[in-house]
Amino acid sequence: MTTIAQPVLDTPFVVGDREFQSRLMVGTGKYASNELMVQAIEASGAEVVTVAVRRVDLARSKDTGVLHHLDTSRYFLLANTAGCYTADDAVRYARLARAAGFNEWVKLEVIGDQESLLPDTAGLLDATRVLAAEGFKVMAYTNDDLITALRLEDAGAVAVMPLASPIGSGLGLLNPFAIRTIKHRLSVPVIVDAGVGTASDACVTMEQGVDGILMNTGIAAAGDPVRMATAMKLAVEAGRLAHLAGRMPRREVAVPSSPLGGMLA
């Protein structure tokens, strides 16, 4: 009997003290319905799912909470601090999220500008230090600046999350060089967060060698979110494998694939 050994195609994806199978993390915002959100997340194969912290709408409290719809025994909830413009606010939201009782992880956002939604990197560093000292596992959403990424690692972030392009823009990976540089220099996982608009964006991003991708709008705002979630899953896997495989060298001249010899006289 012949058995073919299953090749080890990927290395473990470890963030902090957790190991995940899927390198795709997804958000829960902007879906047309909760049913669609649940189906899309399922199709994405993601294990890590982000949520936001907001006031309960006391006028209609029944249907606004995401926990009514998500199976929290199945998904790892990653609370974000989206909408926070100061380190103090972000710390407050992170503490509220932890008090929900699921875990001590936070996707830390300190936004610096309403129009671009680019991070306030000084505030981000301050908040990272405070939260890391309190035992939080901080995944820090940042821009694609190497020095900020290095400082975030020093400040105790368990993962650094540079953007591909601005939040919700769908512009794809604007600076592959910057992302590669960050990945090359950091010890903690680099997970690209924001800007991935379609499957090819996800694939190219993973081909840079990053550890994972977090996306929301790229799936939620697609014409068919469930199909796009499936495409993103495949693209993340394809890009990861292509990175591990190592691409052929680029050449500016053609090189024949078939033998030159043996041609008929």
Partner 1 sequence: MAHLEVGSEAVAVVVNGDPREVPAGSTVASLLASLDLDPRLVVVERNHEILRDRDSFPRVELATDDTIEIVHFVGGG
Distance of CA 38 to the CA centre of its chain: 18
Tell me the C-alpha distance between 245 and 160, whole Å: 24
Alpha-carbon torsion (158, 162, 164, 167), positive or negative: positive
Residue 111 DSSP one-character state: B
Under the criterion CB under 8 A, does residue 147 sit at the interface with partner 1? no
Main-chain dihedrals φ then ψ at residue 220, nearest 5 degrees:
-65, -30
Q: Which of 10, 14, 21, 64 binds partner 1 (CB under 8 A)?
A: 64
Task: Please identify, among the stretches 5-13, 28-36, 223-231, 243-251, the one whose residues bind partner 1 according to the rule CB under 8 A.
Answer: 28-36
Binding span for partner 1 by CB under 8 A among 15-23, 90-98, 150-158, 246-254: 90-98
Question: CB of 132: closest distance to partner 1 in angstroms?
Answer: 19
Between the alpha carbon of residue 203 and those of residues 45, 83, 99, 192, 200, the distances in Å are 16, 29, 36, 12, 5
Q: Does 32 bind partner 1 (CB under 8 A)?
A: no
The verdict on 135 binding partner 1 (CB under 8 A) reads no
Q: Which stretch binds partner 1 (CB under 8 A): 1-9, 64-72, 155-163, 184-192?
A: 64-72
Letter for the amino acid at 29?
G
100 lies in the binding site for partner 1 (CB under 8 A): yes
The tokens for 108 are 């830390």
Q: Is 134 in the site for partner 1 (CB under 8 A)?
A: no
Number of residues that bind partner 1 (CB under 8 A): 37
Closest contact distance (angstroms) between CB of 2 and partner 1 is: 47
Work out whether 33 is an interface residue with partner 1 (CB under 8 A): no
Residues 85, 93: Cα–Cα separation, whole Å: 11
CA distance 105 to 126: 17
Buried b (16+ CB within 10 A) or exposed e, 96-111: ebbeeebbebbbbbbb
Show contacts of 257-260: CB within 8 Å, 24+ apart.
none
Q: How far apart are CA 228 and CA 133, in angstroms?
A: 39
**Rounded to the nearest whole angstrom, what is the least distance from the CB of residue 31 to partner 1 in the complex?**
7
The least distance separating partner 1 from the CB of residue 84, rounded to whole angstroms, comes to 12
Per-position x/- string for 211-230, each x denoting binding to partner 1 as judged by CB under 8 A, each - no binding: ---xxxx-------------
Active-site positions read: 107
Task: Out of 13, 20, 24, 31, point to the residue binding partner 1 (CB under 8 A).
Answer: 31
| 142 touches partner 1 by CB under 8 A | no
User: Which of 32, 65, 71, 154 contacts partner 1 by CB under 8 A?
Assistant: 65
180: phi then psi, degrees, rounded to nearest 5: -60, -40
* Interface stretch with partner 1, choices 3-11, 95-103, 125-133, 241-249 (CB under 8 A): 95-103
The whole-angstrom distance between residue 105's C-alpha and the CA centroid of its chain comes to: 14
Q: Note the residues at the interface with partner 1 (CB under 8 A).
A: 27-31, 37, 50-56, 58, 61-62, 64-68, 77, 79-80, 82, 92, 95-97, 99-100, 167, 194, 214-217
